């Protein structure tokens, strides 16, 4: 390269934010991975153009010179995110793809580490959503390219990882290794920094939106988790009526998507001891991850565990339980949670008993389509009512199913606020 050109290219580098991004990458991924990632960023400052792949490869004649809105005449959305956790990918990425395509818009998605794919998609997009992407070299690369193309940027998040004070209230962190806990809390700054660089924020619940408004003071929107077409199709294949089931055995189910829920499970452990003592025909089914507290050791022959092994098998397991429980510690971290576990169980006509925390208190009508509980006495009373009455289980399960179908599917509600939809519909000016 001509030395003068190189000098001018280096002069365009914003060294302070670049250094901050490098240090964030080192903290998250280490020196070797960071060195590799710098290669992606370097091309931007050495004058390389961005191209859309043709037949799987970039070509000399494939460079885009016009903006997406001018070329296609309709919105096209790219989602760049952390796609490692299947449940998060499903609810925060795949559902958005389904929704945008249902409108007749184009929508693409990419893992944020797949720089070639992500940058290529940006070339023919009118907006980009970043899901749970840290402030790293790749993220800043995409932000710069979005600005160059003149497209709006959004950041989507479904837990308060950006707020260290709130995240540290998560009692479940006490049950993981200290180095994992330190890493999670230390990561708050890189997510916060990323959220500060976009045009608007998308949150999964109303309380999470409130936190984001307080922290960032910018456009914030709620985009909740719903029962999508893929979920409804799976449920249709595994769901069966609970009428006529074997009343000689009642199964209480607890689903846990990660190892960090032991403190939550402890909220209901004393109540479970009470009902397991009084009702010898009751069993406990653990779906996913959970460490049983010592008080339940004497009931281990009535406690079964099955790991997650795919979404269809997860719903098949839900369909076999009689009562779904969602115990949660009452803190600001859990107040941010969405009511996914209520939605999923309800689709199987299984009644839910949930701690009266966060979105669960918003979507459940206590005593009508589920139970909301706050104390040990509440837990014991709700469990006893459902254990003792098949009719009550069937009634609440049916009402819960109707609640989800009427209020929490793509066809039953406005998926996103009209003002947010307008933001996505805006063509590049």
Tell me the percentage of the chain whose pLDDT exceeds 90: 61
pTM of the complete model beyond 0.85: no
Question: pLDDT tens for residues 295-352?
Answer: 999 999 999 988 877 888 999 999 999 999 999 999 999 999 999 999 999 999 999 9
Average pLDDT over residues 250-278: 87
Q: What is the pLDDT of residue 391?
A: 95
Q: Dump pLDDT digits (tens) for 101-158.
A: 999 999 999 999 999 999 999 998 999 999 999 999 999 999 999 999 999 999 999 9
More confident residue, 13 or 277: 277
pLDDT at 236: 87
Query: Within 13 Å, how many C-alpha atoms sit on residue 117's CB side?
Result: 11
Best CA proximity match to 196, nearest among 138, 120, 112, 139: 139
Task: Report yes or no: 130 and 198 within 8 Å, Cβ to Cβ.
Answer: yes
Cα 13 to the center of its chain, rounded Å? 34
Please give the Cα distance from 6 to 1 (Å, whole number).
7
Q: How far apart are CA 146 and CA 200, in angstroms?
A: 14
Q: What is the pLDDT of residue 49?
A: 37
- Residue 24 confidence (pLDDT): 61
The answer to whether the CB of 326 falls within 8 A of the CB of 341 is yes
Q: Residues 34-69, buried b or exposed e (16+ Cβ, 10 A)?
A: beebeebbeebbeeeebbeeeeeebeeebebeebbb
Burial of 270 (0-12, 13-18, 19+ CB in 10 A): middle
Q: Count CB-CB contacts under 10 A for residue 300.
A: 10
pLDDT value of position 259 = 58
In the chain, what are the domain boundaries?
14-226+418-425, 229-407
State the alpha helices, DSSP H only, in 223-261: 229-238
Spatial CB neighbours of 154, under 8 Å, sequence gap ≥ 6? 127, 128, 129, 130, 198, 199, 200, 201, 202, 423
pLDDT (mean) for 191-199: 96
> Looking at 38-187, which runs of residues are DSSP E strands?
76-81, 106-111, 127-131, 152-157
Above 60 in pLDDT, residue 65?
A: no
How many helices (H) and strands (E) are present in the chain, helices listed first?
21, 12
CATH number for domain 14-226+418-425, candidates 1.10.260.40, 3.40.50.300, 3.40.50.2300, 3.30.360.10: 3.40.50.2300
> What pLDDT sits at residue 242?
57
CATH architecture of 229-407: 3-Layer(aba) Sandwich (3.40)
Asked if 14-226+418-425 and 229-407 have one fold, the answer is yes
Q: Is 60 exceeded by the pLDDT of residue 28?
A: no
Write down the mean pLDDT value for the chain: 84
């Amino acid at each position: 390269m001509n030395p003068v050109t190189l000098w001018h290219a280096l002069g365009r580098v914003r060294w302070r934010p670049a250094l901050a991004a490098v240090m964030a990458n080192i903290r998250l991924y280490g020196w070797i991975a960071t060195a590799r990632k710098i290669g992606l960023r370097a091309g931007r400052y050495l004058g390389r153009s961005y191209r859309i792949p043709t037949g799987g490869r970039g070509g000399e004649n494939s460079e885009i010179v016009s903006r997406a809105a001018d070329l296609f005449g309709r919105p096209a959305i790219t989602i760049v995110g952390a796609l490692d956790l299947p449940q998060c990918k499903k609810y925060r990425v795949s559902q958005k793809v389904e929704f945008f395509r249902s409108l007749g818009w184009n929508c693409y998605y990419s893992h944020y580490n797949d720089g070639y794919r992500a940058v290529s998609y940006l070339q023919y997009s009118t907006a980009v959503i970043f899901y749970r992407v840290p402030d790293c070299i790749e993220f800043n690369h995409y932000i710069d390219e979005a600005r160059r193309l003149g497209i709006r940027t959004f950041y989507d998040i479904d837990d308060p990882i950006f707020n260290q004070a709130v995240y540290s209230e998560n009692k479940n962190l006490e049950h993981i290794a200290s180095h994992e806990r330190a890493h999670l809390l230390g990561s708050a700054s890189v997510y916060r920094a990323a959220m500060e660089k976009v045009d608007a924020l998308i949150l999964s619940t109303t309380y999470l939106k409130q936190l984001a408004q307080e922290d960032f003071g910018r456009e914030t929107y709620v985009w909740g988790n719903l029962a999508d077409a893929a979920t409804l199709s799976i449920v249709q294949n595994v769901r069966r009526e609970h009428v006529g089931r074997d009343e000689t055995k009642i199964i209480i189910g607890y689903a846990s998507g990660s190892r960090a829920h032991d403190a939550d499970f402890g909220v209901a452990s004393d109540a479970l001891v009470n009902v397991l003592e009084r009702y010898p025909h009751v069993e406990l089914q653990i779906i996913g991850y959970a460490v049983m507290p010592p008080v339940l050791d004497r009931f281990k022959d009535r406690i079964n565990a099955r790991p997650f092994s795919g979404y269809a098998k997860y719903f098949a397991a839900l369909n076999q339980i009689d009562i779904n429980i969602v115990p949660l510690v009452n803190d600001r971290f859990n107040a941010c949670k969405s009511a996914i576990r209520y939605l999923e169980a309800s689709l199987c006509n299984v009644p839910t008993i949930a701690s009266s925390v966060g979105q669960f208190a918003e979507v459940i009508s206590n005593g009508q389509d589920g139970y909301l509980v706050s104390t040990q006495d509440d837990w014991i009373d709700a469990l006893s009512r459902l254990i003792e009455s098949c009719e009550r289980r069937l009634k609440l399960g049916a009402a819960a199913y109707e609640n989800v179908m009427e209020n929490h599917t793509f066809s039953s509600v406005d998926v996103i606020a009209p003002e947010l939809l307008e933001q996505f519909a805006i063509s590049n000016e």
